[in-house]
Amino acid sequence: MSASDTLAAASSPDPDAPVAPPRLRVAPSPTGDPHVGTAYMAMFDLAYARKHGGQFVLRIEDTDRARFVEGSEQQVYDTLAWLGLSHDEGPDVGGPYAPYRQSERLDTYQPYVDKLLAEGKAYYCWCSAERLKEMREKQQALKQPTGYDRLCYGKTEEERAALPGFSDKPVVRMLIPDDVELEWDDLIMGRTSAPRPDDQVILKADGFPTYHLAVVVDDHEMAITHVVRGQEWISSTPKHLLLYKWLEVPAPRFAHMPLLRDEKRAKISKRKNPAARLTWFQEQGYLPEALLNFLALQGYPPIVEADGTEREVFTFEEFTQRFEWAKVNKAGAVFNLDKLNWLNGHYIRELDAGDLASRLIPFLHAEGLVGSHPTLPELGRLKLVAEQVQTRITTLQDAVPLVRPFYVADDELEIADDARATLKDGAAEVLDAAIAALEPIDGGIGNPDGTGVEWLAPRIEAALREAIIDGLGIKPRLAFGPLRVAIAGQKISTPLFESMEILGKHSTMTRLRALRDQL
């Protein structure tokens, strides 16, 4: 099937049941850390493509060379792979419509520009940047609509050169007709309209196409059937539909997604909000499945169970199975990190302890606590520690201070100032009682038949309760504070008795004695 046939087949009356397998794409620009919106659009693209047996394409739109950032493209691959949003075609995997990087497709665009120029639907503009700036300032001062005033239209280069504000490196502009169509049927917004566009530049002076031409040409050449993008692009849709019409190729269906908005209802921006960076979520230790769940809820309702209750926790597979454009919320939701934190905590608690331990390794390695490839004994200890921190953390990064005491040498454990401040006058007496109570307990693994004394949390707890609560008469909520400070060096820690078991008798006793000596 040709690209035109694929597009025509996909424009069936029921957009959620296309005649032909749909083709959708995400097309980020490598201008810095990937925006979280890239993942947001990609997951809706992928859900629809997978539900209907289609393809998901990754295209890199790198024609804005002034804003190009080295390494940004690789970040796109890495973050989408981290989220599990795998593409079927792209610069890194190839495909039948390669190349998928716009800077490698420059020869593709020129024939389309030549066609528009030859048919009088586009024209050269020699206006300098200074002249355009002055024009816009004058329009704004007079409270007129801003837009190109067509000074160059109908003139030869020589005629235009005789006028002020001339540049010998022209751009090419569309010639927007008076009867341009301003309405279309949007998969999400319904019947939608946009203001009349001005004569948009489609080819820059450096020979690179602008977004408006390149996106139309590439979507046609790559047989894209559905274009999913943010509502900020609604104003550009008439230009794009006009280009499809002029180039005599079928237009894809458009689905304009609700924007990701901050607490002030403004579009979430990388300049103002670190959470707009997709890499930020990795750095903070959010789980990819939690982030996908959260992003889905930004534009899609929860699952309604058979009894009518709503379920906000769902997998990407469940999201895909029930996906329909008609259910997308036109208004969207506020980007509420409290909701993401709640979701992430839920997903962390659902992990197997071994899985959680594996996910913690990069964060612990970054702090120098473990190697990048821990040994089996190290992994065994980390699994035990992971079980202790699992209910106490919201993100993987939260685990670092809780895990640290298990991986520092006993003589390098630092007592935090706020933890030391909690030590009262009776701390020395408590430590003395604890040391005396724990000393007789066998620090080995116990007898094979399970009898005898063992260095295990229940035995440790029983001995300490008898010595401190019963023996010293100290209230339970105050009894073990000095021991926590000695073992973890901080106010907030993992469960005391389980921590002692994991550390072992030698480290436990060494730390208790070290703090006692400091008092």
User: Following DSSP, what letter does each residue of 278-321 receive, concatenated?
Assistant: HHHHHHHT--HHHHHHHHHHHHSPPEEPTTS-EE----HHHHHH
* Least confident range of 9-13, 51-55, 261-265, 402-406: 9-13
The pLDDT confidence band at residue 270, using thresholds 50, 70 and 90, is confident
3-state helix, strand, coil in the chain (%, to 5): 50, 10, 40
One-letter amino acid of 130: E
Catalytic site residue from 51, 204, 270, 339: 270
Burial label for 372, CB within 10 Å (0-12, 13-18, 19+), is exposed
Between CA 226 and CA 15 the distance in angstroms is 9
- Whether the CB-CB separation of 19 and 224 falls below 8 Å is answered with no
Residue with tokens 């190349």: 99
Between CA 357 and CA 383 the distance in angstroms is 5
* Least confident range of 8-17, 70-79, 301-310: 8-17
Between CA 431 and CA 516 the distance in angstroms is 6
Phi, psi of 442 (to 5 degrees): -60, 125
Looking at the predicted structure, is the pLDDT value of residue 174 above 70? Answer: yes
Active site residue 270: yes
pLDDT cut 90: percent of the chain above it: 82
Domains and CATH numbers, the chain: 409-518 (1.10.10.350)
Phi, psi of 167 (to 5 degrees): -125, 135
Q: Rounded mean pLDDT of the chain?
A: 92
- End-to-end CA distance of the chain: give it in Å, rounded: 82
* Least confident range of 46-55, 90-99, 180-189, 437-446: 437-446
**278-337 residue pLDDT tens:** 999 999 999 999 999 999 999 999 999 999 999 999 999 999 999 999 999 998 888 899
- Outline where DSSP puts E strands in 61-165: 122-127
Burial label for 49, CB within 10 Å (0-12, 13-18, 19+), is buried
Looking at the predicted structure, is the pLDDT value of residue 1 above 50? Answer: no
DSSP 8-class letter at 468: I
Helices (H) and strands (E) in the chain, counts: 23, 11
Looking at the predicted structure, is the pLDDT value of residue 4 above 90? Answer: no
Mind giving me the DSSP string for 471-505? HH---HHHHTHHHHHHHHSSSS-S-HHHHHHHH-H
Between CA 112 and CA 237 the distance in angstroms is 18
Determine if the pTM surpasses 0.95.
no
- Whether the CB-CB separation of 18 and 49 falls below 8 Å is answered with no
- DSSP, collapsed to helix, strand or coil, labels residue 459 as helix
- Mean per-residue pLDDT, 164-192: 97
Q: In 10 A of CB 153, how many CB atoms?
A: 14
Q: In 10 A of CB 177, how many CB atoms?
A: 10
- Mean per-residue pLDDT, 53-73: 92
Residues 397/403/408/410 CA torsion (nearest 10 deg):
150
Q: In angstroms, how far is CA 205 from the centroid of its own chain?
A: 35
The pLDDT confidence band at residue 377, using thresholds 50, 70 and 90, is confident
Residues with Cβ < 8 Å from 508, sequence gap 6 or more?
438, 487, 500
Q: Pick the more confident residue, 262 or 503.
A: 503
| pLDDT confidence of residue 12 | 45
Q: Cα Rg for the chain, rounded, in angstroms?
A: 32
Stated as kind and residue range, the H or E segment containing 403 is helix 399-403
* Least confident range of 59-73, 89-103, 117-131, 263-277: 263-277
Between CA 346 and CA 61 the distance in angstroms is 37
Pairing of β 253-257 and β 226-230: parallel
**117-139 residue pLDDT tens:** 999 999 999 999 999 999 999 99
Between CA 480 and CA 460 the distance in angstroms is 12
| pLDDT confidence of residue 447 | 44
The answer to the question of whether 270 is labelled as a binding residue is: yes
Tokens of 419: 């933890």
- Long-range (24+ apart) CB contacts under 8 A made by 194-197 are 194/234, 194/235, 194/236, 194/237, 194/238, 195/235, 196/238, 197/235, 197/236, 197/238, 197/239
On the CB side of 86, CA atoms within 13 Å amount to 4
- Whether the CB-CB separation of 85 and 47 falls below 8 Å is answered with no
Looking at the predicted structure, is the pLDDT value of residue 450 above 50? Answer: no
Looking at the predicted structure, is the pLDDT value of residue 464 above 90? Answer: yes
List the beta bridge partners of residue 303: 311
Looking at the predicted structure, is the pLDDT value of residue 17 above 70? Answer: no
| pLDDT confidence of residue 423 | 92
The pLDDT confidence band at residue 16, using thresholds 50, 70 and 90, is low
Between CA 19 and CA 11 the distance in angstroms is 8
The pLDDT confidence band at residue 448, using thresholds 50, 70 and 90, is very low
Q: In 10 A of CB 128, how many CB atoms?
A: 14
Q: In angstroms, how far is CA 179 from the centroid of its own chain?
A: 41
Closest C-alpha to 219, from 197, 251, 246, 173: 251
Closest C-alpha to 65, from 266, 221, 207: 207
One-letter amino acid of 248: E
